[in-house]
Structure 1
Amino acid sequence: MKAVIAGTVVAEAATEDLVKIEGNWYFPPASLTEGAFHESPTAYHCPWKGDAQYFDVGVGDDVVKDGGWSYPQPIPSSFERVGTDYSGYVAFDRASVTISE
Structure 2
Amino acid sequence: MKAIWNNTVVAESDDTIVVENNHYFPADSIKREFFEDSIAHTTCPWKGRASYYSLRVNGELNKDAAWYYPEPKEAASQIEGRVAFWKGVKVEN
Q: Is TM more than 0.5 here?
A: yes
Look up the match of 2:92. 100
Which residue of the other structure, out of 19, 22, 25, is the alignment partner of 1:21?
Answer: 19
Structure that is richer in strand per residue: 2
| TM-score, with length taken from structure 1 | 0.84
Q: What amino acid maps onto 2:89 in structure 1? A: V
| TM-score, with length taken from structure 2 | 0.91
Contact 1:10–1:58, Cα closer than 8 Å, also in 2 = no
Deviations 1:34-78 (A, max 9, x none): 211111111201111111011101323222101000001101233
Q: What amino acid maps onto 2:13 in structure 1? A: A
Identity %: 39
SS of corresponding position for 2:79: coil
Distance 1:77 1:26 in 2: 15
Structure 1 segments unaligned to the other structure (5+ residues): 80-84
